Structure 1
Amino acid sequence: MLATDTRHHIARIEAALQAGEAARSPIAASWSRSARMHGLDPVGHRLPPRLTAEEFGLIRERMDPTVRTAAPTLDRLFRAVGGLGTCVVLSDRDGVPVDRRGNAGDDRDFADCGLWTGTRWSEALAGTNAIGTCIAEGRAITIHRDQHFLPANIGLSCTSAPIHDAEGRLTAVLDVSTASAACSEAVMTLVAHSVTEAARRIEADLFRAHFPALRLMLVPGLDRGAGALLAVDADELVVGATRTARAHFGLKGDLARNPVPAADLLGVESRATLEDGERAVIARALARSGGNASAAARSLGISRATFHRKLGPRD
Structure 2
Amino acid sequence: MKDAAADGEALTMMANAELSPGFKHAERVLTAVHSSRAAVSAVAASWCRSALHHGLDPSAPQASAERLGDNELNTLRASNGELLTVAAPVLDRLHGSVGLAGACVIIADAGGVVLDWRTTDSDAALFEDIGLTPGVSWAEAAQGTNGIGTCLVEGCAVTIHRDEHFASRNVGVSCMDAPIFDPDGRLIAALDISSARGDHDRTMAALIGALVQDAARSIERDLFCRRYSDARIVLAGAGDQAMRGNVLLAVDRDDLVIGATRAARQQFRLATGADIEPRPLGDFLGQTGPASFDDGERAVLRQALARAGGNVSSAARLLGIGRATFYRRMERVGLSLRH
Query: For this structure pair, what is the TM-score category when the shorter chain's length is used for normalisation?
Result: over 0.9
Give secondary structure in 2 for the equivalent of 1:240.
Answer: strand
**Aligned counterpart, 2:24:** 8
Structure 1 vs Structure 2 CA RMSD: 2.1
2:330 pairs with 1:311 = yes
**Aligned counterpart, 1:28:** 44
Shift of 1:140: 0.4
What is the CA deviation profile of residues 118-172 of structure 1, one whole-angstrom value per residue up to 9, with x for unaligned ones? Answer: 1111111111100000000111001111211122211111010001111111121
Shift of 1:97: 1.4
Given candidates 95, 120, 127, the residue that maps to 2:112 is 95
Give secondary structure in 2 for the equivalent of 1:209.
Answer: helix
**Aligned counterpart, 1:136:** 153
What is the CA deviation profile of residues 76-111 of structure 1, one whole-angstrom value per residue up to 9, with x for unaligned ones? Answer: 222222222101111111111111111111111100
Given candidates 289, 292, 313, the residue that maps to 1:273 is 292
User: 1: distance between equivalents of 2:297 and 2:65?
Assistant: 63
Shift of 1:226: 5.1
Shift of 1:73: 1.9
**Aligned counterpart, 2:8:** none
8 Å CA contact 1:161, 1:199 repeated in 2: yes
One-letter amino acid of the counterpart of residue 238, structure 2: G
One-letter amino acid of the counterpart of residue 268, structure 1: Q
**TM-score (normalised: structure 2):** 0.86
8 Å CA contact 1:130, 1:159 repeated in 2: yes
**Aligned counterpart, 1:53:** 70
Output aligned runs, 1:29-44, within 5 Å. 29-42=45-58, 43-44=60-61
2:197 pairs with 1:180 = yes
Shift of 1:298: 4.6
**Aligned counterpart, 1:168:** 185
One-letter amino acid of the counterpart of residue 301, structure 2: I
Please, which moves more after superposition, 220-229 or 98-107? 220-229
Aligned identity (percent) is: 45
Shift of 1:313: 5.2
2:102 pairs with 1:85 = yes
Shift of 1:115: 0.3
Give secondary structure in 2 for the equivalent of 1:143.
Answer: strand
User: 2: distance between equivalents of 1:266 and 1:110?
Assistant: 48
User: 2: distance between equivalents of 1:293 and 1:186?
Assistant: 62
One-letter amino acid of the counterpart of residue 103, structure 2: T
Shift of 1:47: 4.7
Shift of 1:280: 1.3
Given candidates 118, 131, 149, the residue that maps to 1:114 is 131
Give secondary structure in 2 for the equivalent of 1:128.
Answer: coil
One-letter amino acid of the counterpart of residue 247, structure 1: Q
CA shift in 2, pair 1:79/1:67, >3 Å: same
Shift of 1:271: 5.6
Shift of 1:286: 3.3
Please, which moves more after superposition, 59-68 or 110-119? 59-68
8 Å CA contact 1:47, 1:152 repeated in 2: no
Shift of 1:288: 2.9
User: 1: distance between equivalents of 2:85 and 2:145?
Assistant: 29
CA shift in 2, pair 1:5/1:142, >3 Å: same
Give secondary structure in 1 for the equivalent of 2:244.
Answer: helix
Output aligned runs, 1:229-308, within 5 Å. 229-252=248-271, 258-270=277-289, 272-308=291-327
Tell me how many residue pairs correspond in the alignment: 315
8 Å CA contact 2:262, 2:272 repeated in 1: no
